[in-house]
């Protein structure tokens, strides 16, 4: 009987393939049915749109397309029909459900005389894992073809020059009149409309609670005129976390220490799901920078590691998880901000290497991100004189400076576009940072960035003057309109790809808030947060002290300043007889006296700069004092950067946790008391201050039974 079923299955499979081939020909062209006002088009037929099948279910999205080319999601309910309900059904909201049977069905949508259709196909696929049967079903969408689906070029033809320029602008509205902007004001709504803004970036000042954030984002989208807004945020995880409610992921370097692509994917997915639920559709994350300079004051733990291959693997996994939720990801900061010792918020850093070295190290993760389909790439306000040695006169002091990557045609167009083959969206980093703002005028910086090849101008200084200046540059021929339209192509294509379309009747805000409150900070996401923290904590040094077996009567002291309350809370939860000495400099005699009778000292240090981890820094003097003046084990925790042990190499125990988020303190305390065995491996090399290596990349101890 099994043989008979197999014989019957082969011709069935062949028949489906023939049917598919036939339908990919002339049957895949849909006749337009138009009224004078607009056309009806399914978003899934547009070339930029993705299939969106999930567990055999597909949400189809109809669009009204108007004479001037702009498109919106209609409020009217459509009529839906499936021509083969044996294969697929469709409900009145356009949700297609495949039955699990092989074959094809045309899904029709109708609104009066307006119609469109799309083909859905179910194919059997042989399983390699026989436990789940010999075959399973794969589902695909076969798009219709025709000029009516070329929404992007049609829209660009109908846009005014002011609209095109406005789509390239993404300002921030953090504060106004001394107050944080947590709701859309009439003044901001007017600016969104007046300048036809393509997007807005949100900061921690804007996003306080889940409900408030959902309302704010929804109101921004209502304020947009023809095209939905790119609502962006820097939700990297770790030290760059904007949402004040939700999941506090330990950050990229913690993922580098955990060495798990699966965890990186889960982190990206959790962050994406939370942002998507809030209506935030673009995340300026993750950082693909390689932290191969321990003195870097701005990247540090925002990087996955110092290793190009590990950075690429984890960055791509994170990005795939993020973009799988419908939230755009951004690889930053191209061509690489890792090997710098200057913060571009404060000055203009330089990376001095030739292209050959950059391709092996700094550029390698970005190439992998491009090949994996990252939606956007953010540029670095860093000079690369071996790629572009063009100099300009600084407006700050009149001296010649090398043009930074953000404003370099050789970097953005010749290297990124032409040589590396990237055709996605390019966005600047914030143009109000000193690396740009001090040396270039606000309008000049934007014009140079667009001439260099950027598509999205992030946080320009002075919205009105920049919008007018960019418009004047096009009208005067300084920038060609064709160059602007290249950016329009990418911006509108990304919006269609991610379903960012103006809605005639948005979903009721109450339902949006209910879904957001269920998603943001969910138990599932909090578990991912704990998993990363526990698998990343790295035991760098252990002189037979850990795990700490403390009797109930033993007293333990926790000492430190920054974030020390979190560490104290985590330790005291596990050992009630714990005291806190809150200090970030050498202890007084009275404070030292409080340590009498303790059985162990746990000290936390937090640094972000070279000066902070110098042995002469008061915080580090305190740690070395504890090591020298007490005769009990001193357990040190590098709260943020893992390099702190360079200042106190004689400590008995050293743990690196890479994050000041709650889950990381809990993980360190769990490791100290033996609740978990440390698993993390150093994602960076810890150098010896006198030269050489103190602890190598990949080093990490654990407990043995």
Chain position carrying tokens 């084990």: 633
- Three-state secondary-structure class, residue 556: strand
b/e map of 57-66 (b: 16 or more CB within 10 Å)? Answer: ebebbbbbbb
Catalytic residue selected from 234, 429, 531, 644: 429
**The two three-digit tokens of residue 505, written as one number:** 């009747």
Residue pair 268/249 in contact (Cβ under 8 Å)? The answer is no
Alpha carbons 217 and 392: distance in angstroms, whole number = 40
Spatial CA neighbour of 29 closest among 118, 154, 121: 118
HSE-up (13 A, CA, CB side) for residue 381:
24
Helix (H) or strand (E) holding 142: strand 135-142
> Looking up tokens 């150093």, which residue turns up?
682
| Rounded-to-integer distance, Cα 327 and Cα 594, Å | 52
State both tokens at 606.
């937090």
The full 3-state SS of 233-249, as one line of letters, equals: ECCCECCECCCCCCCCC
Q: Which residues pair with 65 in a beta bridge?
A: 39, 71
Active-site entry in 33, 180, 345, 409: 345
Which pair of tokens denotes residue 453? 């090849």
In the numeric block, which tokens belong to residue 168? 């390239």
Report d(CA 530, CA 547) in Å as an integer: 20
The span from the CA of 571 to the CA of 668, in Å, is 9
Our answer to whether residue 429 is catalytic in this structure is: yes
70 classed as catalytic: no
- Whole-number Å distance between alpha carbons of 330 and 74: 30
For residue 661, CA distances in Å to 218, 250, 634 come to 29, 6, 23
Partners of 232 in the β-ladder: 201, 282
CA-to-CA separations, 568 to 599, 604, 685, in angstroms, rounded: 16, 10, 29
**Torsion sign, CA atoms 197, 198, 201, 206:** positive
Residues 6+ apart with CB under 8 A from 230: 170, 198, 199, 200, 281, 282, 328, 456, 491, 494, 495, 500
Pairing of strands 634-638, 598-605: parallel
**Counting runs of H as helices and runs of E as strands, what totals does the chain give?**
21, 30
Q: How many angstroms separate the first and last alpha carbons of the chain?
A: 55
Sheet strands (E) in 228-313: 230-233, 282-283
- Count other Cβ atoms within 10 Å, centred on residue 577: 14
Q: Which of 659, 165, 615, 169 is nearest to 430 (CA)?
A: 169
Q: Catalytic residue numbers?
A: 345, 429
């Amino acid at each position: 009987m099994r043989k008979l079923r197999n014989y019957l299955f082969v011709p069935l499979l062949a028949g489906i393939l023939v049917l598919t081939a036939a339908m990919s020909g002339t049957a895949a062209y849909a006749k337009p049915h138009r009224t004078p006002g607009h056309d009806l088009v399914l978003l899934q037929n547009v070339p930029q749109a993705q299939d969106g099948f999930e567990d055999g279910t597909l949400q189809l999205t109809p669009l009204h397309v108007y004479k001037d080319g702009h498109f919106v999601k209609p409020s009217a309910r459509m009529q839906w029909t499936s021509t083969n309900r044996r294969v697929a059904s469709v409900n009145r909201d356009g949700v297609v459900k495949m039955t699990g049977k092989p074959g094809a069905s045309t899904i029709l949508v109708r609104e009066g005389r307006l119609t469109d259709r799309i083909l859905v196909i179910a194919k059997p696929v042989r399983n390699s894992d026989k436990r789940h049967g010999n075959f399973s079903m794969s589902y695909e969408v076969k798009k219709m073809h025709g000029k009516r689906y070329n929404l992007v070029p049609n829209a660009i033809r109908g846009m005014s020059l002011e609209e095109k320029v406005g789509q390239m602008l993404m300002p921030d509205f953090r504060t106004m009149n001394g107050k944080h902007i947590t709701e859309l004001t009439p003044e901001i709504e007017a600016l969104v409309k007046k300048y036809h803004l393509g997007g807005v970036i949100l900061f921690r000042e804007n996003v306080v609670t889940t409900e408030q954030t959902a309302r704010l984002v929804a109101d921004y989208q209502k304020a947009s005129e023809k095209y939905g807004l790119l609502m962006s945020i820097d939700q990297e995880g770790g030290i760059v976390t904007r949402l004040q409610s939700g999941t506090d992921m330990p950050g990229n370097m913690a993922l580098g220490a955990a060495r798990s692509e699966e965890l990186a994917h889960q982190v990206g997915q959790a962050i994406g799901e939370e942002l998507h639920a809030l209506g935030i559709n673009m995340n300026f994350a993750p950082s693909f920078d390689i932290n191969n300079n321990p003195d870097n004051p701005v990247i540090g733990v925002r990087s996955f590691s110092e290793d190009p291959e590990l950075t690429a693997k984890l960055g791509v996994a994170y990005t795939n998880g993020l973009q799988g939720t419908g939230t755009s990801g951004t690889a930053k900061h191209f061509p690489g901000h890792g090997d710098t010792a200057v913060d571009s918020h404060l000055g203009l850093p330089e990376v001095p290497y030739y292209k050959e070295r950059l391709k092996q190290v700094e550029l390698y993760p970005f190439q992998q991100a491009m090949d994996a389909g990252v939606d956007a790439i953010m540029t670095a306000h860093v000079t690369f004189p071996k790629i572009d040695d063009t100099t300009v006169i600084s407006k700050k002091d009149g001296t010649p400076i090398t043009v930074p990557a953000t404003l370099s045609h050789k970097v953005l167009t010749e290297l990124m576009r032409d040589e590396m083959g990237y055709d996605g969206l390019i966005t600047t980093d914030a143009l109000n940072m000193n690396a740009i703002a001090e040396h270039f005028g606000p309008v000049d910086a934007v014009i140079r960035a667009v001439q260099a090849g950027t598509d999205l101008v992030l946080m320009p200084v002075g919205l009105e003057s920049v919008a007018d200046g960019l418009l004047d540059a096009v009208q005067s021929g300084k920038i060609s309109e064709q160059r602007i339209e290249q950016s329009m192509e990418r911006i509108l294509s990304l919006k269609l790809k991610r379903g960012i379309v103006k809605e005639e009747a948005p979903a009721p805000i109450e339902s949006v808030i209910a879904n957001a409150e269920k998603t943001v900070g969910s138990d599932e996401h909090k578990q991912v947060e704990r998993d990363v923290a526990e698998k990343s904590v790295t035991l760098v040094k252990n002189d037979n002290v850990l795990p700490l077996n403390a009797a109930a009567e033993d007293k333990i002291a926790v000492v430190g300043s920054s974030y020390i309350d979190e560490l104290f809370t985590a330790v005291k939860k596990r050992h009630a007889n714990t005291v806190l000495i809150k200090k970030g400099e050498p202890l007084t005699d009275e404070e030292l006296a409080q340590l009498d009778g303790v059985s162990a000292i746990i000290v936390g240090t937090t640094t972000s700069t070279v000066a902070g981890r110098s042995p002469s820094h008061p915080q580090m003097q305190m740690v070395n004092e504890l090591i020298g003046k007490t005769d009990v084990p001193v357990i040190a925790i590098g709260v943020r950067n893992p390099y702190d042990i360079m200042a106190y190499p004689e400590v008995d125990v050293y743990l690196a946790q890479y994050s000041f988020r709650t889950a990381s303190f809990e993980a360190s305390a769990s490791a100290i008391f033996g609740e978990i065995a440390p698993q993390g491996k150093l994602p960076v090399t810890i150098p010896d201050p006198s030269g050489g290596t103190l602890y190598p990349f990949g080093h990490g101890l654990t407990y043995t039974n």
